[in-house]
Amino acid sequence: MRSEIDVDVFEGERLVQRCACTAQPFPDGRPGAIWRGVTYPLLPGDRIDVGATQHREVQGQPFAVVAGEGTTWILVSGLASALTEARDRLEAGGIRVAHSGRWLGDTPEGSSFDWFLRCEGVVEVGQVGELLGANRTVVQTAEGRLAVLEQHLLEMRAALARLADELVVATRAPSTASLLQETRSANHDAILEATRDRVRELETRLAATPPNPAPARSSTARLQQELGAVLVALRPDVILLRDSLQVAVGEFASRTAFYRTLQELPVSGARPEGWKALRGSERWWERHVSNGQDDSGRAYARFDTRSRQWRLLLGWKGEQSRDIDWIRREG
């Protein structure tokens, strides 16, 4: 039997993806294929149904822990019951799961995962292993954390360069400049120094992050880094808050609507067309965002008149109360 085959992965009648899978026969000789850590019966036409009840768990199911900015993603494999079990075990251990669902991003090299559980705060790998069970193995990955830090650093360096240019223009103003011009120059100077402090802080944190022992980055990390660099180049006036980029990369089946959302933010800072005011939060706007499957995504944006930048938070309908509370705390 072929060791690797191209398989159409279905969940009932819905095509999930087409990909190469390792062929793995069942003990009774029936052909099977491994998809994301589970062996499924291989159906005619080289297809599998991940919603089928017949499956065989691969021993030593792995999990991965990907740290973000104040958030931790835990990735697991298996059927929907594996997600439910993982959530129950984590929450019983005192870890709050803010959001969970099918993992739509790529995964660390050599492993693949079906589900994600996005947890609040920093969660240690050892704690996750204790709660999920000793029979699971951890996939070490630092790429997610590195990608988040590098994205923030790219954004702040772009902001620093732009502010430096604006400060040069301000200091070249004629000696007869008005008091308003002098005030603006002073404001730019303060913002510039604050941005420099932030860049230094990020550089220190990035240098302190231990390198990943794997020789190559996962495709998720590469995609996240590349997407972050593109956003900095095309929309340097948009700062993604918290872990918005990781949400778009790993939790959205399609990022097309997310890109349109970024495009809708006017450079002038005016109200984005089609957005509505966020009740109880001054100068914040919100809109629905399609995740490629439904409109349960949410985007919140506010224009900072001092830095002349949009600040955007990407989230979900089910987390709206939590996100709005965070927005109000941040101001």
Q: Which of 35-44, 91-100, 174-183, 197-206 has the highest mean pLDDT?
A: 91-100
The confidence band for 188, taking pLDDT boundaries of 50, 70 and 90, is low
In the predicted model, what is the mean pLDDT of residues 97-105?
82
Tell me, what amino acid is at 215? P
Q: Which of 139-153, 161-175, 253-267 has the highest mean pLDDT?
A: 253-267
Domain range summary for the chain, segments of one domain joined by +: 4-57, 62-139, 142-212+229-234, 252-331
The topology under which CATH files domain 62-139 is: Alpha-Beta Plaits (3.30.70)
Q: Worst-scoring range by mean pLDDT, 110-124, 137-151, 304-318?
A: 137-151
pLDDT of the residue at 298 = 94
In the predicted model, what is the mean pLDDT of residues 78-103?
87
- Residue identified by tokens 């808050």 is 241
Residue 114 has pLDDT above 60, yes or no: yes
Q: Alpha helix locations (H) across 74-178? A: 80-92, 125-132, 143-171
Say which residue, 21 or 199, is predicted with more confidence: 21
pLDDT of the residue at 235 = 87
Q: Worst-scoring range by mean pLDDT, 102-116, 135-149, 192-206?
A: 135-149
CA distances from 9 to 40, 59, 305 (A): 10, 21, 48
- Residue identified by tokens 């938070």 is 313
CA dihedral 18, 24, 26, 31 (to 10 degrees): 60
pLDDT of the residue at 215 = 37
Nearest residue to 301 via CA among 314, 289, 311: 311
In the predicted model, what is the mean pLDDT of residues 37-55?
78
Task: For residues 251 and 246, give the distance between their C-alpha atoms in angstroms, rounded to a whole number.
Answer: 8
Task: For residues 123 and 113, give the distance between their C-alpha atoms in angstroms, rounded to a whole number.
Answer: 19
Residue 198 has pLDDT above 50, yes or no: yes
Say which residue, 165 or 55, is predicted with more confidence: 165
Task: For residues 67 and 122, give the distance between their C-alpha atoms in angstroms, rounded to a whole number.
Answer: 7
How do 71-76 and 62-67 pair as beta strands? Answer: antiparallel
Share of the chain above pLDDT 90, in %: 17
In the predicted model, what is the mean pLDDT of residues 184-209?
63
Nearest residue to 286 via CA among 277, 273, 295, 296: 277
pLDDT of the residue at 136 = 59
pLDDT (tens digit per residue) in 146-172: 555 555 555 556 656 666 666 565 555
CA dihedral 305, 306, 308, 309 (to 10 degrees): -90
pLDDT of the residue at 203 = 62
How do 71-76 and 115-120 pair as beta strands? Answer: antiparallel
The confidence band for 214, taking pLDDT boundaries of 50, 70 and 90, is very low
In the predicted model, what is the mean pLDDT of residues 52-71?
66
Task: For residues 173 and 180, give the distance between their C-alpha atoms in angstroms, rounded to a whole number.
Answer: 12
Share of the chain above pLDDT 70, in %: 65
pLDDT of the residue at 165 = 62
The confidence band for 286, taking pLDDT boundaries of 50, 70 and 90, is very high
pLDDT of the residue at 162 = 61
pLDDT of the residue at 307 = 86
Model pTM?
Answer: 0.54
Q: Which of 37-46, 167-176, 256-265 has the highest mean pLDDT?
A: 256-265
pLDDT of the residue at 287 = 95
Mean pLDDT of the chain: 76
Task: For residues 23 and 217, give the distance between their C-alpha atoms in angstroms, rounded to a whole number.
Answer: 26
In the predicted model, what is the mean pLDDT of residues 213-217?
40
